[in-house]
Structure 1
Amino acid sequence: MDPLSETLSLLNTHNSFFAGLKAGGDWAIDFPPPDGIKFNAIVEGTCWLMVQGVEQPIRLTAGDCFLLPRKRAFSLRSDLSFPAIHSDAIYRHAVNGIASCGTADEFFLIGGRFDFGEEARLLFDGLPPVAVIKSGSDQASVLNWALQRIAHELTNPALGNSIVVQHLGHIMLVQVLRIYLIQEGNTAPSWLLAISDPRIGATIQAIHADPARSWSVESLAKIAGVSRSTFALRFKQKSGVAPLEYVLRWRMQLATRLLKTNHTTISSIAQKLGYDSDSAFSHAFKRIMTCSPREYRERVAPISQQ
C-alpha cells in the first residue's frame, strides 16, 4: 500500500458532513472556523473566497475547489463590498442539506468536512491555510466526476444517499491532495511533498513497512541511494522534520490506533513498535502526544465506544 493510502486508512473519521449552497444576486456569507478538514467545490457560477490570515481574496469559478486544512474562519461572497450574514442564518433552513441565499439561481457550491482528530496532523501539517485547485486540467477529471455525482446525490436524495456521498467525498479529498502535489509552486515542506519525492518517498515506504526496526540515518540514506548528509538535508527540506523524528512520529501515529483497541496492552504496543521498555515508549509517546499512553487511551475510550 502506498504511503498516502496507508495514512488515510489509519485516520479515524470522527465525523463527516456534506452540504450545499445555492445563491444568486448580491450575497455574502461568513463561515466560522471549521472543525476538521474542510473542502468546497464550485458547481456553477463564481464567487470570492476570503480566508482569515490570507491577505488577498481568491476568485473561484465553476469546477474550482479549495481545501482548508486549518481551523480558520472564511467568507464566500458575490461582491467583496456586500455586507455578510452568518452561515447559521441560512443553514438552519437548509433542505436536504442545501441552503439558499438571495435568489439562489446563479451559484451552486458543495462542501464537505472531515474531522479526523489529532491523528491528521502528520498528513495536513505543512499545507498552507488554503489550497486552491483550479479546474481545467486532465488530473481534475476524476475530481469533476465526483463533484457532479455528489451534487446529484444532494439534490436528488435516494436510499443509501449518506454512504454514497461520504465515499465520494473521500475520493474528492484524495484527488484534491493529488492535484495539489503536482501544481507548480507547492514547495513548502510537508509530508505530502516528501512522499512525492522518489528517494525520500522510498525511505518513508521502508519506515512504514517496518516501523519497529532500529532505523538510523545511515540505513535510510542507503535506501535513498545518497550520502548520509545529503539524505538528512533533503529529507528535512521535503518533510520539514529530521528523518528519525519522522520515524518517531509515524510510530506514534500507529500507537494511537492501537491504543483505541482495548484488548491491546500498552506493553505489547511498545514491543510491536520497537521499544525495549514501557517507560521508553511512554516517554516517546508523551513527547509527541503531550500525554501518556494510558491517559490517551482513557481520553479516547468514550469516542471508540460510540
Structure 2
Amino acid sequence: MDPLEDVLTLLETRGRLSAGLEAGGRWAVRFEAPEAVKFNAVRRGSCLLEVDGVDEPIGLAEGDCYLLTRPRPFTLRSDAGVVPVEAGPVFTAAEGGVARVGDGDDVFLLGGAFSFGTRAQELLLDQLPPVIHIPAGTRHAETVRWALTVIDQELTDRPMAATLVAERLAVVMLVHVLRLHLARDPHASSGWLAGLGDPVIAEALTCLHRDPARPWTVAELAHTTSVSRSTLAARFKATVGQGPLEYLTRWRIELAARQLRDGGETLAAIARSVGYGSESALSVAFKRVVGVPPGDYRRQPTMT
C-alpha cells in the first residue's frame, strides 16, 4: 500500500451521512463545532460558508464540496446580514432525511462526517488546513461528483444496504478530496502529507511503508530514489520535518501501537513484525516516542 492508503487504513477511516439541508430565500444556519471531520457538498444552488478562525467567507457553488478538519463552529448562509438560527433544532425537525430552513428549495446540501481512530489528529488532521474547498470543475472533482451522485441515489431510492454503500462511497470521496488538495497545493500541508507532493520524497515514503521492517539506511533509500544521500536527507528533513530514519521509527511505532490496541499478538511477535530484533529494543523505542512502555499502552488502549 502507499502512505496515504496506509494511514487511512491504520486510522480505521469511516464515513457517515447526516440529514441533507434544503434552503431557500434568505437564510442562515449556525453549527456548533463538529466532533468529527465534517463535509458538505452543494448539490443545488449556492451559498456562503463562514468558519470561525478563517478570515474570509467561502463562496460555494453547485458541485462544490468542502472538508472541515478542525472542531470549529461554522455558518452556512444565503448572504450576509441574516441572523442565523441554530442547527440543532433545524436538524431535529428533519423529515425524510432532509432538514429545511428559509423559504423555498433553491439550495440543497448533502452532508456527513468522517470518523477516525485515536491517532488521527497527529497523523493526519494536524497536517491539513482547517478548510479544504473543492470547486466544481477541478481535477478529481468529476470523481467526487460521481460519488456524491451515487450517494444521493442510494439515500433517495433506498435499495438494500443503501447506507453501507453510501458510507463507503463517502470514504472514496475523502480520498479524492485529499488527492486533489495535494495536487493543487502541496505546500498547504505539512509532514508526510507534504512529502507526497514531492516525487523524490514520495518514493522514499512509499519504500518505507512498503517494507517497514527492513533495516533501511539513508544510502539505500537514496539509491531507490536516484538522488545522493545528502540530497535525500536534506530534502526529506525540509519537507517532512524529520529525517527518513526518524520517520521510519515513528511509523514502526504507529504500526506497533495498532497491534497493541488490537491485543492479539505477543510483544515479541509485534517487535519482529515492525523491524525490531527484541522486545526490549521495541520497548525502548516505543517509550521514547509514545511516552509509556508498550505494556502500559496495551492496558490503556485509548491513549494517544
* Aligned twin of 2:2: 2
- Alpha-carbon distance in structure 1 between the residues aligned to 2:291 and 2:210: 26
- Alpha-carbon distance in structure 1 between the residues aligned to 2:48 and 2:301: 39
- Alpha-carbon distance in structure 2 between the residues aligned to 1:49 and 1:103: 19
For 1:54, the aligned partner's letter is: V
* Aligned twin of 1:258: 259
From the superposition, tell whether residues 240 and 32 of structure 1 become closer, same or farther in structure 2 (CA, over 3 Å).
farther
Q: Return 179-188 or 134-143, whichever deviates more.
A: 179-188
- Alpha-carbon distance in structure 2 between the residues aligned to 1:28 and 1:191: 38
From the superposition, tell whether residues 93 and 204 of structure 1 become closer, same or farther in structure 2 (CA, over 3 Å).
same
- Alpha-carbon distance in structure 1 between the residues aligned to 2:167 and 2:45: 24
- Alpha-carbon distance in structure 2 between the residues aligned to 1:7 and 1:185: 17
- Alpha-carbon distance in structure 2 between the residues aligned to 1:26 and 1:33: 23
* Aligned twin of 1:132: 133
* Aligned twin of 1:110: 110
For 1:84, the aligned partner's letter is: P
- Alpha-carbon distance in structure 2 between the residues aligned to 1:252 and 1:243: 14
Deviation at 1:127, TM superposition (A): 1.1
Equivalent runs, 1:143-154 vs 2, <5 Å: 143-154=144-155
For 2:127, the aligned partner's letter is: G
Instruction: Judge conservation of contact 1:96–1:154 (CA < 8 Å) in 2.
Output: no
* Aligned twin of 1:94: 94
SS in 1 for 2:50: strand
- Alpha-carbon distance in structure 2 between the residues aligned to 1:289 and 1:74: 33
Equivalent runs, 1:203-242 vs 2, <5 Å: 203-242=204-243
Deviation at 1:169, TM superposition (A): 0.4
From the superposition, tell whether residues 220 and 257 of structure 1 become closer, same or farther in structure 2 (CA, over 3 Å).
same
Q: Return 191-200 or 52-61, whichever deviates more.
A: 191-200
Instruction: Judge conservation of contact 2:15–2:114 (CA < 8 Å) in 1.
Output: yes
Deviation at 1:86, TM superposition (A): 1.9
For 2:168, the aligned partner's letter is: H
Instruction: Judge conservation of contact 1:22–1:100 (CA < 8 Å) in 2.
Output: yes
SS in 2 for 1:42: strand
Alignment of 1:27 with 2:18, yes or no, is no
Alignment of 1:119 with 2:119, yes or no, is yes
Equivalent runs, 1:50-69 vs 2, <5 Å: 50-69=50-69
For 1:95, the aligned partner's letter is: E
From the superposition, tell whether residues 159 and 87 of structure 1 become closer, same or farther in structure 2 (CA, over 3 Å).
same
Q: Return 132-141 or 288-297, whichever deviates more.
A: 288-297
- The Cα RMSD (Å) is 2.3
From the superposition, tell whether residues 291 and 91 of structure 1 become closer, same or farther in structure 2 (CA, over 3 Å).
farther
Deviation at 1:88, TM superposition (A): 0.8
From the superposition, tell whether residues 27 and 257 of structure 1 become closer, same or farther in structure 2 (CA, over 3 Å).
same
* Aligned twin of 2:182: 181
* Aligned twin of 1:304: none
Q: Return 177-186 or 200-209, whichever deviates more.
A: 177-186
* Aligned twin of 1:245: 246
SS in 2 for 1:79: coil
Please list the CA deviations of residues 216-271 of structure 1 after superposition, one character each: whole Å capped at 9, or x if unmatched.
Answer: 33332222222233212221333233322211221122123212332201222122
From the superposition, tell whether residues 13 and 74 of structure 1 become closer, same or farther in structure 2 (CA, over 3 Å).
same
- Alpha-carbon distance in structure 2 between the residues aligned to 1:285 and 1:15: 30
From the superposition, tell whether residues 200 and 170 of structure 1 become closer, same or farther in structure 2 (CA, over 3 Å).
same
From the superposition, tell whether residues 277 and 147 of structure 1 become closer, same or farther in structure 2 (CA, over 3 Å).
same
Q: Return 282-291 or 132-141, whichever deviates more.
A: 282-291
Please list the CA deviations of residues 22-78 of structure 1 after superposition, one character each: whole Å capped at 9, or x if unmatched.
Answer: 111222112222223222111111111111211111111111111112222221111
From the superposition, tell whether residues 157 and 131 of structure 1 become closer, same or farther in structure 2 (CA, over 3 Å).
same
SS in 2 for 1:173: helix
Identity percentage over the alignment? 44
Deviation at 1:104, TM superposition (A): 4.6
SS in 1 for 2:272: helix
Please list the CA deviations of residues 110-136 of structure 1 after superposition, one character each: whole Å capped at 9, or x if unmatched.
Answer: 122111033323233321111111111
Instruction: Judge conservation of contact 1:36–1:115 (CA < 8 Å) in 2.
Output: yes
Q: Return 209-218 or 283-292, whichever deviates more.
A: 283-292
- Alpha-carbon distance in structure 1 between the residues aligned to 2:225 and 2:82: 54
Instruction: Judge conservation of contact 1:20–1:108 (CA < 8 Å) in 2.
Output: yes
Instruction: Judge conservation of contact 2:15–2:112 (CA < 8 Å) in 1.
Output: no
- Alpha-carbon distance in structure 2 between the residues aligned to 1:71 and 1:280: 38
